[in-house]
A and B are shown apart, each in its own frame.
Chain A
Amino acid sequence: MKNSIKIKQAFSVDRTTFQDIFFIPILAISLAISLGLLLLLLTGESYQTALTALIALFVGSFGSVSALSETLTAATPLIFAALGIAIGFRAGLFNIGAEGQIIVGGLAAVIIGFSVELPLMLHLTLMLSVGAAFGAGYAFISGWLKAFTGAHEVITTIMLNLIAFRLLDFFLRLPFIQKEGRNDPISKSVLDTAELPRLLVLIDPNLRIHAGFLLAILAVILVYWIIFHTTIGFEFRMVGTNLNAAKYAGVNSSLTIVLAMSAAGLCAGLAGASQISGVLGRATSGFSAGIGFDAIAVALLGRAHPIGVLFSGILFGALVAGGREMQVSAGVSLDLITVIQALIIIFVAAPILVKSIFPWFFGKK
Chain B
Amino acid sequence: MKIELKEISKSFGPVAANTKINLSVSSGEVLGLLGENGAGKTTLMNILTGLYQPDSGQILIRDQERKFYNPRDAIKNGIGMVHQHFMLVPVFSVSENVILGNEPITNVNRINKKEAREEVLKISSKYNLDVDPDELVERLPVGVQQRVEIIKILFREAELLIFDEPTAVLTPQEVLDFFRIVSNLKKSGKAIIFITHKLHEVIQICDRINVLRRGEMVGEANPKKTSNSELAELMVGRSVNLKTKRPKINRGKVLLETKNLQVMSNKKEMGLSNINLKLHENEILGIAGVQGNGQTEFIEALTGLRKISSGEISYFDKRYTNLSPRKIHKMGIKHIPEDRQKQGLINEFSIIENVVLNTYYEDAFSNNISLNWNSAKSEAARVMKQFDVRASSETIPANNLSGGNQQKLVIGREMSRKINLLIASQPTRGVDVGSIEYIHSQIISARNAGIGILLNSTELEEIIALSDRIIVFFEGKIVAELSSNTDPQIIGMAMAGVVN
Contact = CB atoms under 8 A, between A and B. Distances in A.
Q: Is the interface of A mostly helix, strand, loop or mixed?
A: helix
Contacts of B345: 245
A253 to B, nearest CB: 11
Contact of A230 (B324, B326, B347, B369): B369
B373 A234 contact: no
B13 to A, nearest CB: 6
A360 interface: no
B325 A13 contact: no
B412 to A, nearest CB: 15
B438 interface: no
Interface residues of A, number: 27
Interface in B310-367: 324-327, 329, 335, 337, 342-350, 352-353, 357-358, 360-361, 366
Contacts of A241: 346, 348-349
Given A12-B395, A250-B324, A231 B348 contact: no
B407 to A, nearest CB: 15
Contacts of B329: 250
Given A9-B373, A231-B361, A231-B368, A250 B349 contact: no
Given A242-B342, A247-B305, A365-B13, A231 B369 contact: yes
A234 B348 contact: no
Contacts of A6: 373
B370 interface: yes
B325 A250 contact: yes
Contact of B352 (A9, A231, A237): A9
B371 interface: yes
A276 to B, nearest CB: 31
Contacts of A14: 348
Contacts of B344: 245, 248
B397 interface: yes
B396 interface: yes
B353 A244 contact: no
Contacts of B327: 250
A203 to B, nearest CB: 39
B370 A12 contact: no
Contacts of A247: 305, 325
Nearest to A238: B346
A231 B370 contact: yes
A229 B371 contact: yes
Interface size class of chain B, counting residues whose CB lies under 8 Å from the partner chain = 20 to 34
Contacts of A13: 348-350, 353, 397
A274 to B, nearest CB: 26
A1 to B, nearest CB: 12
B360 A231 contact: yes
A229 B365 CA distance: 11
A6 B377 CA distance: 11
Nearest to A233: B371
Interface centre among B325, B329, B349, B352 (most CB of A within 10 A): B349
Contact of B335 (A242, A248, A365): A248
Nearest to A14: B348
Nearest to B365: A231
Contacts of A229: 370-371, 373
A192 to B, nearest CB: 37
A163 B439 CA distance: 57
B348 A248 contact: no
A180 to B, nearest CB: 47
Nearest to B358: A249
Contacts of B343: 242, 244-245, 248
A248 B371 contact: no
B395 A245 contact: no
A252 interface: yes
A244 B342 contact: yes
A79 B87 CA distance: 47
Interface in A7-65: 8-9, 12-15
A12 B350 contact: yes
Contacts of B369: 230-232
Given A248-B344, A249-B358, A250-B358, A231 B371 contact: yes
Interface in A194-243: 225, 229-232, 234, 237-238, 241-242
Contact of B371 (A5, A12, A234): A234
A12 B397 contact: yes
A230 B373 contact: no
A238 B353 CA distance: 10
B393 to A, nearest CB: 9
B394 to A, nearest CB: 10
Contacts of B366: 231
Interface centre among A238, A245, A247 (most CB of B within 10 A): A245
Contacts of A9: 350, 352, 373, 395
Interface of A: 5-6, 8-9, 12-15, 225, 229-232, 234, 237-238, 241-242, 244-245, 247-252, 365
27 contacts: A5-B373, A5-B395, A8-B395, A9-B352, A9-B373, A12-B350, A12-B395, A12-B396, A13-B348, A13-B353, A15-B348, A229-B370, A229-B371, A230-B371, A231-B360, A234-B353, A237-B349, A242-B342, A242-B348, A244-B343, A245-B342, A245-B343, A245-B346, A248-B335, A248-B358, A249-B325, A250-B329
Interface of B: 13, 303, 305, 324-327, 329, 335, 337, 342-350, 352-353, 357-358, 360-361, 366, 368-371, 373, 395-397
The 7 closest A-B pairs by CB, nearest first: A250-B326, A249-B358, A250-B325, A242-B346, A248-B343, A249-B357, A244-B343
Given A231-B361, A234-B353, 6 more contacts: A14-B348, A225-B370, A231-B360, A234-B360, A234-B371, A242-B348
